[in-house]
């Protein structure tokens, strides 16, 4: 199929159904990079990942490798991990602590704020303005309560405008700390998924599948998690607009009315934490926070390689390239996308949504 994109979106994305080519067509993926990932704000990492001067961690914006750095003066920098000389990666480590990056190809050396410090055979560069040859920076960087975002677009909505209602979910997460701040100290659970990136997000806000896919672990853990996704669940799947969604279990936890049941524990097992929460927020507010728990809005809930488009997906995704549009998931009633702030029941939300607003 020859996809004439600019004029074809309305044919590919219809109420309650999307065409399978959205999951494997190279031209569509390239346009998604250009129109979504290189324009919007992308979650990069948390400032606690670079807590010390000279700390760095390798991240990415889509396929673009970037370095999240706390430079020698303590400023956070977001640098492209691409040498301005010949495009080599200047850093191949995942994380570390160093004041400079030396490109392994021809040994150009950069300060960790991006400035070019030196190059090999400097006599060949006489009269060159080094200040123009530093590492490029991600055009915009913003920090919301410790969460660092980057945007490749020099202009556009502010991060707070972009997050919109999803800010509430970040606030909810941070409010579970008596200091209102969190640190990432436990590392990450890395997932590598050989799938188009949209599958990840679709799965993350799909409250329909856990009772089946994850039933064995729910039974072993005896966690009552099953209740969140059962036929009688009152948890909801919510769209905040601008691609932000959440599965919001608060209605279920509020019905239970037990602090920290979301965490599989109880207040009497964590007396120090409860005391600090009460001191920080007052007993009523602290109790509500501890009942509600915290989770991340899914479009912020970034996997380290956020954009995937493996070519071999073609063989796995039905229908055939010129076949009919995918209609929800097998056996499910298709459903038109909820409007911004629309709410569907997490336990029973059919999966057919429009996928343009990602
Ligand atoms: S590509 Fe980096 S120094 Fe040549
Ligand atoms: Fe799942």
Give per-residue pLDDT as tens, 201-254. 888 888 889 889 988 888 877 677 778 888 888 888 889 988 899 889 999 999
- From the CB of residue 278, how many other CB atoms can be counted at a distance below 10 Å? 16
Closest atom, ligand 1, to C-alpha of 119: 3
CATH number of 42-155: 2.102.10.10
Q: How confident is the model at residue 4 (pLDDT cuts 50, 70, 90)?
A: low
Question: Each residue of 31-79: pLDDT tens digit?
Answer: 999 999 999 999 999 999 999 999 999 999 989 999 999 999 999 999 9
Asked whether the predicted pLDDT for residue 22 surpasses 50, the reply is yes
CA of 41 to the centre of ligand 2 (A): 25
CA of 209 to the centre of ligand 2 (A): 7
CA of 95 to the centre of ligand 1 (A): 20
Counting ligands in written order, the one closest to the CA of 213 is 2
Residues of the chain with CATH 2.102.10.10: 42-155
CB environment 78-96: b (16+ within 10 A), e (fewer): bbbbbbbbeeebbbeeeee
Give the residue, 309 or 24, on which the prediction is more confident.
24
What secondary structure does DSSP assign to 159-174, as a single string? HHHHHGGGHHHHHHHH
Is the preceding peptide bond at 319 cis, omega within 30 degrees of 0?
A: yes
Question: Each residue of 85-100: pLDDT tens digit?
Answer: 999 999 999 999 999 9
Q: How many helices (H) and strands (E) does the chain have?
A: 11, 15
Query: Is residue 118 within 6 Å of ligand 1 at its C-beta?
Result: no
Counting ligands in written order, the one closest to the CA of 210 is 2
What's the whole-model pTM score? 0.81
Mutate to test the pocket of ligand 1, among 81, 82, 106 (most ligand atoms within 8 A of CB): 106
Among the listed residues 142, 342, 141, 340, the one whose alpha carbon sits nearest the alpha carbon of residue 242: 340
Q: Return the SS3 of 314.
A: helix
């Amino acid at each position: 199929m020859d996809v004439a994109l600019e004029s074809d979106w309305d044919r590919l994305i219809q109420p309650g159904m999307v065409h399978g080519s959205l999951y494997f067509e190279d031209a569509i993926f390239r346009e998604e990079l250009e129109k979504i990932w290189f324009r919007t704000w992308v979650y990069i990492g948390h400032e606690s990942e670079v807590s010390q001067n000279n700390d760095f961690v390798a991240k990415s914006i889509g396929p673009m490798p970037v370095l999240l750095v706390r430079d020698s003066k303590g400023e956070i920098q977001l640098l492209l991990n691409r040498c301005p000389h010949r495009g080599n990666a200047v850093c191949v480590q995942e994380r570390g602590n160093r004041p400079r990056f030396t490109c392994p190809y021809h040994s150009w050396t950069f300060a960790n704020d991006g400035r070019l410090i030196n190059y090999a055979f400097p006599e060949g560069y006489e009269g060159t303005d080094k200040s123009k040859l530093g590492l490029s920076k991600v055009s915009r960087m913003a920090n919301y309560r410790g969460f660092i975002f980057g945007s490749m677009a020099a202009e556009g909505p502010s991060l707070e405008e972009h997050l919109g209602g999803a800010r509430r979910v970040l606030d909810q997460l941070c409010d579970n700390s008596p200091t209102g701040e969190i640190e990432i100290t436990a590392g990450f659970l890395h997932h590598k998924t050989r799938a188009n990136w949209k599958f990840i997000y679709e799965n993350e806000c799909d409250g329909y599948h856990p009772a089946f896919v994850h039933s064995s672990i729910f039974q072993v853990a005896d966690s009552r998690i099953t209740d969140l996704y059962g036929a009688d669940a009152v948890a909801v799947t919510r769209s905040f607009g601008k691609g932000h969604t959440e599965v919001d279990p608060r209605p279920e936890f509020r019905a239970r009315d037990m602090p920290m049941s979301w965490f599989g524990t109880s207040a009497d097992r964590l007396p120090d934490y409860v005391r600090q929460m009460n001191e920080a927020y007052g007993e009523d507010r602290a109790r509500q926070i501890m009942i509600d728990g915290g989770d991340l809005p899914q479009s912020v809930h970034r996997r380290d390689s956020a954009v995937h488009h493996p070519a071999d997906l073609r063989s796995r995704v039905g229908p055939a390239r010129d076949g009919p549009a995918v209609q929800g998931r097998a056996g499910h009633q298709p459903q038109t996308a909820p409007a911004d702030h629309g709410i569907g029941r997490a336990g029973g939300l059919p999966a057919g949504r429009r996928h343009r607003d990602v």
